Copies of this chain bind each other. A is one copy, B any other.
Amino acid sequence: MSKEAEIFVGKKPPMNYVLACLTAFHEGASEVVVKARGQSISKAVDVVEVIRRKFMPDAEIKNIDIGTEEIPLKDGQGSRRASSISIKLGKVKKSKAK
Residues of A at under 8 Å CB distance from B?
Answer: 38-42, 45-46, 48-49, 53, 61, 64-68, 83-85, 87
Q: Which residues of chain B have C-beta atoms less than 8 A from A53's C-beta?
A: 68
Q: Name the one of B67, B68, B83, B87 contacting A66, with C-beta atoms under 8 angstroms.
A: B87
In chain B, what residue has the closest Cβ to A68?
Answer: B49
| Copies in the assembly, this chain | 2
Q: Which residues of chain B have C-beta atoms less than 8 A from A65's C-beta?
A: 64
Q: Which residues of chain B have C-beta atoms less than 8 A from A45's C-beta?
A: 41, 66, 83-85
Contacting pair A64 B64 (CB below 8 A): yes
Contacting pair B61 A49 (CB below 8 A): no
Instruction: Tell me, rounded to whole Å, the shortest Cβ–Cβ distance linking A33 to chain B.
Output: 14
